[in-house]
Chain A
């Protein structure tokens, strides 16, 4: 089935038939592994939806295992980039540390890397979890916001100055909204995509909204660590993505009640 046909329904707002994933709360998150539904039906429904045949995991039953690891910088860690805002001093903090490439000097761990286990269960909007991207002190909070397809995201401006939030999305409708002081707009994201959002008024501001249907995901912490719990037993592809350093993937096997290591080394391109 072609992508367009598959998503035509999603766009017009028809219900997605796959099973609903249990309570996922994701507010400002890093390292947010979460419980994925291991109902085989969820996976079956999703099978082939966006995955090519070879990516389809081999499900083996059992209660699932944990995938964890560290995403490290290959090379000499760069010093954190500091920005001193030259405008709107009252609202913007005096010194802002750029989130775009943050490497821990000792462990070489990379913060804000996104790791996902492909087809590890269905991440869907439960209608209860609220997702928000805030602008505070002229930075986006959080730097990476992970949401399921069809989720509504509130874009807040908690600062006393104008921000515009511009998305670079292609598959999802893009937008560029002027958001005056202390107001908000809401946007829906239909399709899996990694979407850069930025503010043209304050050129240093940037964040990512990651729309994914994979329940097994995490965002690394300041030491580059991540942990994804309750991944159904099976063979998977695991992918890491970083906004500056790019993507890597490898094959893993998740065994019942076991910890699977999936560490990565990313190099500057």
Chain B
């Protein structure tokens, strides 16, 4: 891969990953060559990037994640079937690894062979070592690892009557103190809740239908019957009968907004097909009728920086005509964010990441051995192409604040510097536009596309391709509370840093969405793990 020189880290896709291909993608010969890895090695490859080399929750990615990755040395696990404060069973850990934790940055590692996941569990358990009062080191799983799941009694049915009974339990147990009257996570104590490290931790918003430990009725039952270790969420097992607990489950689930699909687990290796269309050209128009009958795939998103409101799903459609490939990303976003002129402004954005190698590198924007090609669309760039957006766009009367009788700025003269469209900037001398003069792609005034073509091989390596390599086009339209963004590019490329697309092999790809309204930027975003793209013949 081209030597990466500019350390621009605009987007940090942060998460744990494996660097193995999906099992389908591995040739039988390769499987035979593969030597069984120890739990420690598997942990180093798949988990250490976030959880740290020693499992202390202090990996390179931890800085960019909220909530923070687990510190396995403390033996504190949020999602369990065991009583409050107890250690998890092996199957609890297995489920967390296999399903991921929806709403958080913990992906599903369902693509790892089961035996590998079991190896990782054995290794994780060796990490939970604490010191006694007398300085002796003790493994917590040896000390009190013999734990059993709690009893889950027979469920009541989710009738209106039982939901009403559940509501009474919700009020009696004062769930609303943290989760709020309507379960939006906005109770009186919510702003001051802290996790085990003292970071603020927002109570779950039940209306979104996202639960870290899974969204089935039994999962919800278990969460408030076992508590969530390391968080303020206590257990109510001692306080409630089985019937009361089931009714509470029904009430909590009834708070979910209509039309919401609960997220059962994080997406991993889901297949999306680029359908062949017999058309001469593909356009960047997101409203092109060609998309109408294309089957899309909806991916639940993982949140690298948890916020009360967030983009929870992205729907992706993809087509090609043998020459060009197009992707259409659609997601809900009630407020449009068009610029980043003020420090507190962040634009809406979306990105697609492709692996350049098989097997793919780390999901965290790749590795040195497994680099990635990333296409990022940003709405502020699209706006700049049409009309250069400046401070005055946000503060239209700002001149009047300082010069009340100022007349030279009104009426606006379009030829005046500062009011020129960005494309007229070449009229200026790059000697005086030093960022541009130095070749900084961020300062480039001759951009022709709102999509930036980038490469990365891990954290801090994101680099824009030079001007002549910028070959991805795109366009977004925000309408009726949602975004539709199209990315298109020729399927073939001479550039070794560009992903090429051909039928016959599965291409690892992942998606990212930034919601400017919630302050998403850089690593604070919603992403998917590696999925698979198949190109129809």
Using a CB–CB cutoff of 8 Å, the interface residues on chain A facing chain B are 2-4, 7, 11, 50-52, 55, 87, 161-162, 164-167, 169-171, 173-180, 183, 185, 191-194, 200-203, 212
Contact = CB atoms under 8 A, between A and B. Distances in A.
A161 B193 CA distance: 17
20 contacts: A3-B136, A4-B139, A11-B144, A87-B188, A161-B174, A170-B75, A171-B140, A173-B86, A174-B84, A176-B228, A176-B233, A176-B235, A177-B234, A177-B236, A193-B133, A194-B133, A200-B178, A200-B193, A201-B174, A203-B194
B232 A176 contact: yes
A192 B143 CA distance: 13
Contact of B84 (A171, A177, A200, A201): A177
Contact of B144 (A173, A175, A176): A173
Interface in B140-174: 140, 142-144, 172-174
A19 B228 CA distance: 39
A169 B85 contact: yes
Contact of A180 (B75, B136, B139, B239): B239
Interface string B222-240: 0000011100111110110
Interface in B179-223: 188-189, 192-194
Contacts of A178: 173, 234-236, 239
A4 B138 CA distance: 7
B84 A51 contact: no
Contact of A175 (B85, B132, B193, B232): B85
A185 B227 CA distance: 15
Nearest to B193: A200
Contacts of A192: 132-133
A180 B235 contact: no
B411 interface: no
A141 B136 CA distance: 31
A177 B188 CA distance: 19
B132 A171 contact: yes
B238 A177 contact: yes
Nearest to A239: B133
A216 to B, nearest CB: 15
Contacts of A179: 239
A174 B143 contact: no
A52 B135 CA distance: 9
Contact of A170 (B130, B232, B238): B130
Contacts of B194: 200, 203
Given A50-B134, A192-B133, A175 B235 contact: yes
Given A2-B136, A173-B144, A193-B133, 7 more contacts: A4-B138, A50-B132, A50-B136, A55-B134, A177-B239, A200-B193, A200-B232
Ranked nearest first, the 9 interchain pairs of A and B with the lowest CB-CB distance are A174-B85, A200-B232, A162-B174, A175-B85, A164-B234, A178-B234, A176-B234, A176-B227, A170-B130
Nearest to B229: A174
B532 interface: no
Interface of A is mostly: loop
B277 interface: no
A3 B84 CA distance: 24
A166 B174 contact: no
B74 interface: yes
Contacts of A4: 138-139, 142-143
A146 to B, nearest CB: 13
A209 to B, nearest CB: 13
B177 interface: yes
A50 B133 contact: yes
A158 to B, nearest CB: 16
Contacts of A162: 173-174, 177
A167 B86 CA distance: 11
Contacts of A52: 134-135
A2 to B, nearest CB: 8
Contacts of A176: 84-85, 227-229, 232-235
Contacts of A180: 172-174, 239
Contacts of B236: 177-178
Given A3-B132, A87-B189, A170-B75, A175 B84 contact: yes
Given A164-B234, A178-B173, A203-B194, A3 B138 contact: yes
A34 B470 CA distance: 80
Nearest to A155: B238
Contacts of A2: 136
Interface in B67-122: 74-76, 83-86
Contacts of A175: 83-85, 227, 235
Nearest to A161: B174
B298 to A, nearest CB: 35
A177 B132 contact: no
A177 B174 CA distance: 13
Given A50-B133, A177-B234, A183-B239, A170 B140 contact: yes
Contacts of B138: 3-4, 171
Nearest to A190: B144
Nearest to B195: A200
A172 to B, nearest CB: 8
B479 to A, nearest CB: 42
Nearest to A184: B238
Nearest to B87: A173
Given A166-B234, A173-B86, A177-B235, A201 B189 contact: yes
A176 B232 CA distance: 8
A202 B144 CA distance: 30
Given A174-B229, A178-B235, A201 B177 contact: yes
Nearest to B172: A180
Contacts of A167: 85
A97 B173 CA distance: 28
Contacts of B86: 173-174
A147 to B, nearest CB: 14
A209 B288 CA distance: 67
